[in-house]
């Protein structure tokens, strides 16, 4: 859609079928496929032995730097995976200055559409490198062969615009925006249009049909490009939604399917902002993302601990100003949250 704000270049994205088998016909040889062990088992046959795999076993940046010399030489890199493999593929392609082709195997995160690799340094996320893929290949059969819950969970990467905007407006009203990121209505309006454009397709995304795949992937593509085009400014696409996820990760040490804790964070943030919380909760439920703590291997007590300590966490972590910095989250708030979620999803069985 036309906008006063030039969002600039988005990664070339191709939707189709049988796309893996085409890779050996055009990628620069020798071809290195960066993927996860289980995905290699699943997809190796498509490449007919014409590529060399590198199976990801770490996303630690220092470890990867040391390992680079041992990874077979290649004229191009193909990333094949949900998130981590695509990030490692970016890192290898960037380090070697060779062309990159990305093949997402599920719609879990917007990693295929971002320039930088989210690696860990000393256990903390840092986004490093620069990799613009020649193309992102979205193969309908590949995506549809992933667990539906994984594909649906990617909705978090767009629904989070809602809480991001509420946070940015709050920061503006409080005079607490960062000097480098003054409130920009054009960015907010652009993101809002993308979010609104997804609304008619919630059932398609739930069904993981072609329309749903196109809609969600195209929205994620916008997010990846706009982060860069806005000068690496995340204000219009991310806020308390992701902070809740970071806090849960920090306090529990658990690994998550990204979309579950982020969608929980969207509900928490909407409630704190008193901004369309019921609507967001019901949309998340309709797409089919289970945000009950038990569905992510957590207890309500763990969620309560993370939320009650959210303010201290975001302050210590130096995250950008929003509702998490000022809201006093009480056990009563968490009890209300639990009641709302249980009313919609039902109690956790067993």
SS3 202: helix
Number of amino acids touching Zn ion (CB under 5 A): 1
What's the order of all strands across the beta sheet hosting 31-35? Answer: 13-16, 135-139, 100-104, 76-81, 31-35, 52-55
Q: Please report which helix (H) or strand (E) contains residue 98, including its range.
A: none
Residue closer to Zn ion (CB basis): 46 or 165 = 165
Residue closer to Zn ion (CB basis): 76 or 233 = 233
| Closest listed residue to residue 12, CA positions, set 217, 231, 227 | 217
| Closest listed residue to residue 52, CA positions, set 27, 34, 79 | 34
Q: Could you tell me which stretch among 35-43, 152-160, 226-234, 341-349 binds Zn ion (CB under 5 A)?
A: 152-160
Q: Could you tell me which stretch among 53-61, 72-80, 156-164, 310-318 binds Zn ion (CB under 5 A)?
A: 156-164
Give least dist CB 237 to Zn ion, A: 9
Q: Is the dihedral of CA 21, 15, 35, 298 positive or negative?
A: negative
Residue closer to Zn ion (CB basis): 163 or 252 = 163
Cβ within 8 Å of residue 69, ≥6 positions away: none
Residue nearest to Zn ion (CB): 157
| Closest listed residue to residue 23, CA positions, set 49, 47, 52 | 47
Residue closer to Zn ion (CB basis): 157 or 290 = 157
Give least dist CB 69 to Zn ion, A: 32
Of residues 211-240, which lie at the interface with Zn ion (CB under 5 A)?
A: none
Give least dist CB 217 to Zn ion, A: 14
Residue closer to Zn ion (CB basis): 27 or 263 = 263
- Contact 166/265 with Cβ under 8 angstroms? no
Q: Could you tell me which stretch among 47-55, 129-137, 155-163, 278-286 binds Zn ion (CB under 5 A)?
A: 155-163
Residue closer to Zn ion (CB basis): 250 or 348 = 250
Give least dist CB 157 to Zn ion, A: 5
CA distance 242 to 259: 9
Q: Could you tell me which stretch among 80-88, 132-140, 157-165, 284-292 binds Zn ion (CB under 5 A)?
A: 157-165
Give least dist CB 324 to Zn ion, A: 16
Residue closer to Zn ion (CB basis): 96 or 192 = 192
Q: Could you tell me which stretch among 17-25, 86-94, 153-161, 222-230 binds Zn ion (CB under 5 A)?
A: 153-161
Give least dist CB 2 to Zn ion, A: 27
Tokens encoding 198: 């997804």
Give least dist CB 31 to Zn ion, A: 29
Q: Could you tell me which stretch among 10-18, 19-27, 150-158, 170-178 binds Zn ion (CB under 5 A)?
A: 150-158
Beta strands in 59-146 (DSSP E): 76-81, 100-104, 117-121, 124-128, 135-139
Give least dist CB 283 to Zn ion, A: 17
CA distance 124 to 101: 27
| Closest listed residue to residue 99, CA positions, set 131, 67, 70, 68 | 131
Residue closer to Zn ion (CB basis): 157 or 304 = 157
Half-sphere exposure of 111 (CA within 13 A, CB side): 29
List residues binding Zn ion (CB under 5 A).
157
């Amino acid at each position: 859609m036309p906008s006063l704000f030039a969002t600039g270049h988005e990664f070339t994205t191709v939707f189709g079928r049988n796309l893996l088998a085409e890779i050996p016909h055009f990628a620069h040889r020798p071809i290195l496929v960066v993927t996860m062990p289980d995905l290699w088992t699943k997809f190796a046959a498509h490449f007919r032995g014409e590529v060399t795999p590198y199976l990801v076993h770490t996303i630690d940046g220092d470890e990867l730097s040391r390992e680079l010399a041992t990874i077979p030489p290649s004229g191009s890199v193909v990333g094949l995976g949900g998130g981590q493999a695509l990030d490692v593929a970016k890192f290898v392609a960037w380090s070697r200055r060779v062309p990159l082709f990305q093949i997402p195997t599920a719609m879990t995160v917007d990693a295929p559409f971002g320039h930088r690799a989210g690696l860990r340094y000393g256990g903390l996320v840092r986004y490093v490198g620069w990799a613009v893929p020649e193309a992102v290949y979205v193969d309908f059969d590949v995506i549809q062969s992933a667990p539906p819950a994984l594909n649906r969970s990617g909705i978090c990467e767009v629904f989070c615009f809602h809480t991001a905007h509420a946070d940015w407006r709050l920061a503006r009203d409080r005079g607490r925006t960062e000097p480098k990121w003054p409130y920009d209505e054009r960015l907010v309006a652009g993101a809002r249009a993308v979010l609104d454009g997804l609304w008619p397709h919630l059932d398609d995304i739930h069904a993981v049909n072609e329309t749903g795949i196109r809609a969600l992937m195209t929205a994620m593509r916008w997010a990846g490009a706009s982060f860069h085009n806005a000068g690496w400014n995340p204000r219009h696409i991310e806020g308390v939604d992701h902070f809740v996820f970071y806090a849960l990760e920090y306090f529990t040490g658990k690994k998550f399917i990204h979309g579950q804790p982020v969608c929980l964070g969207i509900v928490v943030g909407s409630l704190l902002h008193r901004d369309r919380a019921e609507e967001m909760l019901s949309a998340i439920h309709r797409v089919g993302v289970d945000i009950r703590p038990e569905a992510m291997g957590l207890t309500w007590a763990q969620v309560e601990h993370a939320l009650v300590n959210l303010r201290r966490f975001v302050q210590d972590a130096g995250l950008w100003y929003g509702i998490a910095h000022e809201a006093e989250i009480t056990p009563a708030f968490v009890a209300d949250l639990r009641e709302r979620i249980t009313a919609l999803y039902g109690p956790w069985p067993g």
